[in-house]
């Protein structure tokens, strides 16, 4: 599986010899485990994207803001929380 150098740098701490740590378990890097490893990498990428969004919102909050940005940020946070709660309910329903 090909991954970018930047992605490899992010996951490098999880790699030990010929295995990768996924959810606390060492998974051998073999063709048989390719699907499990790919799913973990995709999850890590999604988490990285979410972390980047949250960091951007924190930076806006911590720096100088223009008029109206506070209300826009509050609206964005409310919208985000609503979407996350809906996703959590959907996940709970699927797992039930």
Compute the distance between CA of residue 78 and CA of residue 72 in angstroms, rounded to an integer.
10
Statement: the pTM of the whole predicted model exceeds 0.85: no
Per-residue pLDDT of the chain (96 residues; tens, 9 = 90+): 677 787 788 888 999 999 999 989 999 999 999 999 989 888 888 888 888 888 988 888 888 888 888 888 899 899 999 999 999 999 999 998
- Residue 34, helix vs strand vs coil: helix
């Amino acid at each position: 599986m090909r991954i970018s150098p930047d992605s490899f740098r992010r996951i490098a701490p999880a790699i030990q010899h010929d295995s990768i740590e996924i959810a606390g378990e060492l998974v051998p890097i073999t063709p048989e485990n390719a699907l499990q490893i790919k799913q973990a990498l995709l999850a890590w990428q999604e988490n990285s994207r979410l972390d980047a969004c949250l960091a951007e919102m924190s930076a806006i909050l911590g720096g100088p803001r223009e008029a109206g940005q506070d209300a826009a940020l509050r609206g964005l946070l409310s919208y985000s929380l609503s979407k996350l709660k809906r996703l959590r309910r959907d996940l709970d329903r699927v797992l039930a």
